[in-house]
Amino acid sequence: MKLGWIGTGIMGTPMAGHLRAGGHELFVATRSKVPPALLDAGAVACASAREVAERADIVFLMVPDTPDVEAVLFGEHGVAKGLSKGKTVVDMSSISPIETKTFAAKINALGCDYLDAPVSGGEVGAKAASLTIMVGGPEATFEKVKPLFALMGKNITLVGGNGDGQTTKVANQIIVALNIAAVGEALVFASKAGADPAKVRQALMGGFASSRILEVHGERMIKRTFNPGFRIGLHQKDLSLALAGARALGVALPQTAGAAQLMQACAANGMAELDHSALVRALELMANHPVAEG
């Protein structure tokens, strides 16, 4: 198939690479230079998002935030300018569910299909093609694109209509943030009490408190390996979407608000570019005690 890809960051580059490795033609545009790994694999660099849309039948987006998606889709040289009837746009970014519905309606008005398909699994999942993919949009379009999703992920679910994929991703980010905060509090408590946090984590991994967050991010907290991964700044954006949605819906999310403030404390101390497991640093500052030295 003729596929387009826009956005070649930590996640986007390996995801696009899997599509190319699947034997598909790949047309790529990005704000900077297209990564050599994609060009070496046979991807074609394009001058604009519009050119990508002109040359591809299905266009994938993987960019940081809602304004970025809007600019890529509807800017002067955006995707919408290059679309023709029957093409498909698939936004794999994590953005506002409300704005997603607006974007989908505009693309539909051009005679094209739209899927929102945010992912979970981080850089590790992107490289391993083991991402969880949460999809919103028409079932027929989902079935058409599903074999391509299968090249990038393993748990692929059509949740509902346009916007529902993004709503699911926001829910995912709430759960992840609260789990990181819980693991951080537990390890700060254990370390301050004089216990070996590495052995505490090992013991907890065998019980009801075991989780993927305890396994991966608990180890990061102990080993002090806070290179991203998934940046605090991006998780802040996702929690802002959650809290804005909660206000619109009249829903209280008190624990989410607390986690957002911990991430804000990290960002205020120059840590927005660290992995979101570094949320523990805010707890350590309040306790005046690190989980581990390093």
Enter the DSSP assignment of 26.
Answer: E
How far, in Å, CA of 196 to CA of 291, rounded? 9
How far, in Å, CA of 207 to CA of 224, rounded?
24
d(CA 281, CA 167): 28
Token readout for 147 is 């074999």
Residue 293: how many other CB atoms lie within 10 Å:
5
Q: At what angle do helices 164-192 and 212-223 cross, to 10 degrees?
A: 50
Work out the angle between the directed axes of helices 164-192 and 197-204 (0-180°, nearest 10).
130
Tell me which residue of 25, 35, 28 sits closest to 6, measured CA to CA.
28
Catalytic center residues = 169
What element of type H or E holds 45?
A: strand 44-45
**Would you say 25 and 44 are in contact if contact means Cβ atoms under 8 Å apart?**
yes
Name beta bridge partners: 132: 120, 155
